[in-house]
């Protein structure tokens, strides 16, 4: 999988593959802004998966289908052959992955989010062109909370854009 880091993001295919494997997840991060009327470029798709063991097993299967490897920066992931299993995912934490469809970040620990149940309860369902079933995206309040807690420059810009899109200025 040489050069995977250079593969353009194909969010429709990533989302479709997750759905094909019946993975329960909520889209978070830059891509989730679109569900609230804010479109900005992003180089990855961030998801928060449900934490039950069955879901993590389905996620591991989807990641295998996507040929996901941990992004190790300058180290070629093929040299190490690191694959993700349900047990790896069950340990929690966040994973920055390279796939055949671009970068996918699996977020199991997110600033401002108490747990997946709360995040999913506050999420919104949106139809995405090219994806067979509707997708769950982080809700407006959850996004504001997450981005406020992270506090990076881009997050603060995203908060302002979200509020502007809502007419809150």
Question: What is the DSSP pairing of strand 44-49 with strand 124-126?
Answer: unpaired
Tens digits of residue pLDDT in 13-49: 999 999 999 999 999 989 999 999 999 888 999 999 9
Asked whether 56 and 82 are in contact (CB, 8 A), the reply is no
**The pLDDT of residue 140 is above 90:** yes
Interhelix angle for 140-150 vs 153-165, to 10°? 150
**The pLDDT of residue 104 is above 50:** yes
Backbone angles phi, psi at 95, to 5 degrees: -125, 125
Query: What is the pLDDT at residue 73?
Result: 66
Query: What is the pLDDT at residue 155?
Result: 93
**The pLDDT of residue 79 is above 50:** no
Question: What is the DSSP pairing of strand 44-49 with strand 102-107?
Answer: parallel
pLDDT band per the 50, 70, 90 thresholds, residue 93: confident
Q: Which has the higher per-residue pLDDT, 150 or 84?
A: 150
Give me the chain's average pLDDT, please.
Answer: 88
């Amino acid at each position: 999988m040489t050069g995977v880091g250079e593969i353009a993001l194909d969010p429709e295919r990533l989302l479709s593959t997750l759905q094909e494997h019946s993975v329960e997840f909520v889209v978070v991060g830059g891509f989730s802004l679109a569900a609230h009327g804010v479109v900005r470029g992003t180089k990855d798709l961030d998801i928060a998966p449900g934490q039950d063991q069955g879901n993590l097993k389905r996620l591991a299967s989807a990641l295998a289908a996507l040929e996901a490897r941990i992004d190790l920066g300058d180290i070629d992931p093929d040299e190490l052959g690191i694959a993700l299993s349900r047990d790896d995912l069950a340990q929690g934490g966040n994973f920055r992955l390279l796939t055949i469809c671009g970068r996918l970040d699996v977020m199991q620990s997110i600033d401002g989010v108490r747990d997946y149940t709360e995040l999913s309860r506050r999420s919104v369902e949106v139809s995405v062109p090219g994806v067979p079933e509707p997708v769950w995206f982080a809700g407006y309040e959850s996004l504001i909370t997450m981005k406020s807690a992270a506090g990076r420059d881009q997050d603060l810009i995203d908060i302002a854009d979200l509020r502007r899109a809502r007419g809150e200025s």
